[in-house]
Amino acid sequence: MCLSHFFGEQSPFQTIVAIVAFATGGYTFYKSFLERADIAAFPGDGITLVISHGGDCRKFQLRANLVNRSVKMGTLNRLEAEITTPTDIKHAYQWRLFFEYSSEGQQAVATNSPHAVAVAGRGNELLFTEFEAAPGSVTPKWPAGRYTVKLKGWVNLENRQQEPNLNREFHFNIDENTAKHLAEADPLVAELVNLPIEEWALPKCTLDS
C-alpha cells in the first residue's frame, strides 16, 4: 500500500506537508485531550528536623518545588513521606501543615493546614511543608548515619487506596555530634536542626598532602 492511496496524486512536497500537518494534529490532540498531568517534586537543598519541647522529634520540614511537565493542570491531593533509618527501620509521615519563613528567615510560621495544591500546565508551585509521624508510629531515635526519604503523592486521584503517582527519593546524613544533640535536647521552644540533602551537598574537599 503506497502513500498515494492516502494522499492522492500530490507532489512529494505536498505529501510531506500533509504528513507533517497530520502528525502535528495528532500531537496536539494528544496534548490537549489524552495526556495526563505529570507533576514531579524537587526538594530544596536541606531538610529540617523539629525538636519539640520535651525532646520529642516527630516532625520535619521540607521545601520543594512542584513542577508540572505536561500541559494539563494537575492537583496534588495528598503527600506523604517514608524515612528509612541507617538500621533499615521505616517510619511513615504525613503532611501536617504548610508554612513560610519569618522576615528574619530563622523561624517557620504555620500558614495553613494541608490542602490540595493545583499546578497549572507547564507551571510550578513552591511548597513549604511540615510532616509529622503518622498516628501510632514509633518516633525515630535518629542515630548517626545515612537516611533515605521517599516522597509519595497522589495527583488527580480520588483516594489514597490508589497507587501514588508522584515519587521522589533523596538522602541526608546525621553525624555523631548531631545525633547526640537530638538524643539529649529538651528546648523550651521548638528547635530547628537543618541538615543538607545529600544530592545537593557540595563535595567534600580533601587537602593534598
Instruction: Indicate the SS3 state at residue 142.
Output: coil
pLDDT tier at 17 (50, 70, 90 boundaries)?
low
What is the structure's pLDDT at 49?
A: 97
If one compares 123 and 23, the residue with the highest pLDDT of the two is 123
If one compares 103 and 3, the residue with the highest pLDDT of the two is 103
Q: What phi, psi does 9 have (nearest 5°)? A: -85, 75
Give mean pLDDT, residues 116-135: 96
Instruction: Give yes or no for residue 121 having a pLDDT over 70.
Output: yes
User: How far lies 156's CA from each of 39, 130, 162, 171, 188, in Å?
Assistant: 10, 22, 11, 27, 41
What span, in angstroms and rounded, lies between the C-alpha atoms of 83 and 169? 10
Contact 173, 147 (CB under 8 A): yes
What is the structure's pLDDT at 7?
A: 53
% of the chain exceeding 90 in pLDDT: 68
Instruction: Indicate the SS3 state at residue 16.
Output: helix
Nearest one of 76, 50, 77 to 61, comparing CA atoms: 50
The tens digit of pLDDT for each residue in 149-206 reads 999 999 999 999 999 999 999 999 999 999 999 999 999 999 999 999 999 988 776 5
Instruction: Give yes or no for residue 18 having a pLDDT over 60.
Output: no
Instruction: Give yes or no for residue 3 having a pLDDT over 70.
Output: no
Torsion of CA 58, 167, 129, 116, to 10 degrees: -120
Torsion of CA 134, 135, 138, 141, to 10 degrees: 60
Domains delineated in the chain: 4-34 (no CATH), 39-199 (2.60.40.10)
The tens digit of pLDDT for each residue in 25-34 reads 444 443 444 3
What is the structure's pLDDT at 118?
A: 97
The tens digit of pLDDT for each residue in 65-82 reads 999 999 999 999 999 999
Q: What phi, psi does 203 have (nearest 5°)? A: -65, 145
pLDDT tier at 51 (50, 70, 90 boundaries)?
very high
Element (H, E) at 7: helix 4-7
What is the structure's pLDDT at 209?
A: 44
